[in-house]
A and B are shown apart, each in its own frame.
Chain A
Amino acid sequence: GQQLNQSPQSMFIQEGEDVSMNCTSSSIFNTWLWYKQDPGEGPVLLIALYKAGELTSNGRLTAQFGITRKDSFLNISASIPSDVGIYFCAGQLAGNEKLTFGTGTRLTIIP
Chain B
Amino acid sequence: SAVISQKPSRDICQRGTSLTIQCQVDSQVTMMFWYRQQPGQSLTLIATANQGSEATYESGFVIDKFPISRPNLTFSTLTVSNMSPEDSSIYLCSVEASRDRVRFGPGTRLTVL
Contact = CB atoms under 8 A, between A and B. Distances in A.
A65 to B, nearest CB: 12
Contacts of A103: 42
Q: Which of A31, A35, A42, A101 has the most CB of B within 10 A?
A: A42
Interface residues of B, number: 23
B113 interface: no
Interface stretch (B14-22, B43-51, B67-75, B78-86): B43-51
Q: Name the interface size band of chain A.
A: 20 to 34
Contacts of B96: 97
A101 B43 contact: yes
B42 A97 contact: no
Q: Interface of chain B, helix or strand or loop or mixed? A: strand
Contacts of B106: 40-42
B62 interface: no
A101 B100 contact: no
A44 B42 contact: no
B100 A98 contact: no
A42 B33 contact: no
B20 to A, nearest CB: 19
Contacts of B105: 42
Nearest to A43: B104
Interface in A21-78: 31, 33, 35, 40-45, 48, 50
Interface string A81-111: 0000000101010000111011110000000
